[in-house]
Amino acid sequence: MVSSIFSTIANWNRKIQEGGPAALEGKQGRPIKHVSKKENNQKQVSKSEPLNETEREELERLREELRMKELENIILKKLNALPTDPTDKKRK
C-alpha cells in the first residue's frame, strides 16, 4: 500500500512536469460549485470602468495567487484521501 502512495505522488509529479500545475486540475469527481460565481464576477468586472495598469497588475497577481491556493487545496485533499496506514485497504 505504501508503494501505491509513492506511485500516486510520482504520477502527480510527472503530470506537473509535463503540463504544469494546471495538469492536476483534472475533471474528476464532483464539479466545483464556485464556478458560476466566477463567471458572475467576471461579468460584473467587465461592466465596470477599465482598470489602470497598477490595478490590472494587482488583479493578475491576485488571480495567480488564488489559482495557486486552489491547486494547493486540491493537492492537500488528494493527500488526505490517501490511506495513512499501509495495512488499511479502505479508501476514504
**pLDDT tens-place values along the chain, 92 residues long:** 567 788 888 888 888 888 887 777 766 667 666 555 556 666 665 667 788 999 999 999 999 999 999 999 999 999 888 887 767 666 55
**Contact in structure between 15 and 23 (CB atoms under 8 Å):** yes
Select from 32, 39, 41 the least CA-distant residue to 74: 32
Q: How far is the CA of 13 from the CAs of 40, 67, 83, 91, in angstroms?
A: 33, 18, 19, 21
How many Å is the Cα radius of gyration of the chain? Answer: 18
pTM of the model: 0.42
Q: Are 6 and 92 in contact (CB under 8 A)?
A: no
